[in-house]
Amino acid sequence: MAKATKKQALGRGLSALLKDPGNDIQSAQDKNADKVIGNIVELDLSTIEVNPFQPRTSFNEETLRELASSIKELGIIQPITVRKLGFNKYQLVSGERRFRASKLIGLETIPAYIRIANDQESLEMALVENIQRQDLDPIEVALSYQRLIDEINLTQEQMSERVGKKRSTITNYLRLLKLDPIIQTGIRDGFISMGHGRAIINIEDQTIQLDIYEKIVSNNLSVRDTEALVRNYNTSKEITVPTKKEPEDLPKYIKKGVKEFSEYFGHKIDVKVSSNGKGKITIPFHSEEDFIRIKKLVQRAK
């Protein structure tokens, strides 16, 4: 406990140093810069502005309230990262959810790491750090990769090194941006998975893409069913939904429940029931991104 108190006192001391006009640190070479850079500093929330380079474009209000409740109970476990804009003025690089949640419960200060960075460096840091957190939806990740290409001029090989992802993984995300915007929204909202999107992208005509998307949603097609549908279309130029045979030995209440589960999770849910009435529900997933999507749906249902 004494150690934690000492660390907090140090943060407050550094905060006071940064509020002194005579110690306005603008670069790593400035006096006292070594006392600030790389250390945790308590900053006033009012001195921090949000990052216009933030790749996340939407924040779930319910999960923000949950985070705010956790912060109120336990405090901020992981400091945010900011860059210095001017005297006692900062901009978020990463940690906007923690920043928003802290404001939500009326905190006045927040622990932060201070970086000295120009706009391009700040953009790259924000994009890379957010991608590595793996809490963006697939389209937000794809848009982040695209911005690294367009605005930082990184090649896919360089991105692979920065974010620790295989080049093929980056390519798969970028291909999602070729989907019709309605389908991209469907992925962001969890109506279909990234796996569905990867199957649909093999159709160039966006009108046909939309027709297939509607079939996926209305018929609760799995990724495997969608891949079969796309293969059949490329061969016959007809959109044929794979026929599904419902198990006849399942009770009516289970058949109804399976349909509701399948609609909610965006996959065909498998249910097995033994003669004594006990059973098992299986929820399939087709990738890491699909697993994270399903996990979020389960957490949302709590």
Q: What is the pLDDT of residue 115?
A: 77
Whether residues 26 and 79 fall in one domain: yes
pTM here is 0.50
Whether residues 142 and 88 fall in one domain: no
The amino acid present at 302, given as its one-letter code, is K
Average pLDDT, whole number, for the chain?
79
For residues 237-273, b (16+ Cβ closer than 10 Å) or e, as one string?
A: eeeebeeeeeeeebeeebeeebeebbebbbbbbebee
Q: What is the pLDDT of residue 29?
A: 53
Whether residues 28 and 67 fall in one domain: yes
pLDDT in tens, 256-282: 788 888 888 877 788 877 767 778 888
Does residue 205 lie in a domain region? no
pLDDT in tens, 39-55: 678 889 999 998 776 65
Highest averaged pLDDT of the listed ranges 13-17, 70-74, 122-126? 70-74
Whether residues 63 and 164 fall in one domain: no
Does residue 186 lie in a domain region? no
Whether residues 6 and 90 fall in one domain: yes
Told to judge if 96 belongs to the known catalytic residues of this protein, a careful annotator would answer yes
Whether residues 20 and 99 fall in one domain: yes
CA atoms within 13 A on the CB side of 54: 18
Q: The domain that contains 93 carries what CATH number? A: 3.90.1530.10
Does residue 36 lie in a domain region? yes
Q: What is the pLDDT of residue 200?
A: 96
Q: Could you tell me if 174 and 142 are in contact, meaning their C-beta atoms sit under 8 angstroms apart?
A: yes
- Is the Cα torsion angle 138, 140, 143, 144 positive or negative in sign? negative
Does residue 188 lie in a domain region? no
* CA distances to 66, 68, 99, 100 from 105, in Å: 11, 6, 10, 9
pLDDT band at 140 (very low <50, low <70, confident <90, very high): confident
Q: What is the pLDDT of residue 62?
A: 81
**Structural domain boundaries, residue 278:** 252-300
Rounded to an integer, what distance in angstroms lies between the CA atom of residue 268 and that of residue 289? 17
pLDDT in tens, 235-259: 888 888 876 555 456 777 887 788 8
Does residue 163 lie in a domain region? yes
Count of H helices and E strands in the chain? Answer: 14, 7
Instruction: Please count the other Cβ atoms lying within 10 Å of the Cβ belonging to residue 102.
Output: 23
pLDDT band at 226 (very low <50, low <70, confident <90, very high): very high
Whether residues 59 and 106 fall in one domain: yes
Does residue 245 lie in a domain region? no
Rounded to an integer, what distance in angstroms lies between the CA atom of residue 208 and that of residue 192? 16
- Strands in the chain per DSSP E: 40-44, 48-49, 80-86, 89-94, 109-115, 270-273, 279-282
Does residue 16 lie in a domain region? yes
Whether residues 43 and 78 fall in one domain: yes
Number of domains in the chain: 3
Greater pLDDT, 272 or 222? 222
Long-range contacts formed by 248-251: CB under 8 A, 24+ apart: 249/273
The catalytic residue among 66, 96, 121, 151 is 96
Highest averaged pLDDT of the listed ranges 18-22, 228-232, 288-292? 228-232
Whether residues 152 and 51 fall in one domain: no
Rounded to an integer, what distance in angstroms lies between the CA atom of residue 22 and that of residue 5? 27
pLDDT in tens, 185-207: 889 888 899 999 999 999 989 89
Whether residues 103 and 170 fall in one domain: no
The answer for residues whose C-beta is within 8 angstroms of residue 150's C-beta and 6 or more apart is none
pLDDT over 90 percentage in the chain? 21
Whether residues 141 and 104 fall in one domain: no
Rounded to an integer, what distance in angstroms lies between the CA atom of residue 72 and that of residue 298? 24
Does residue 169 lie in a domain region? yes
Q: What is the pLDDT of residue 202?
A: 92
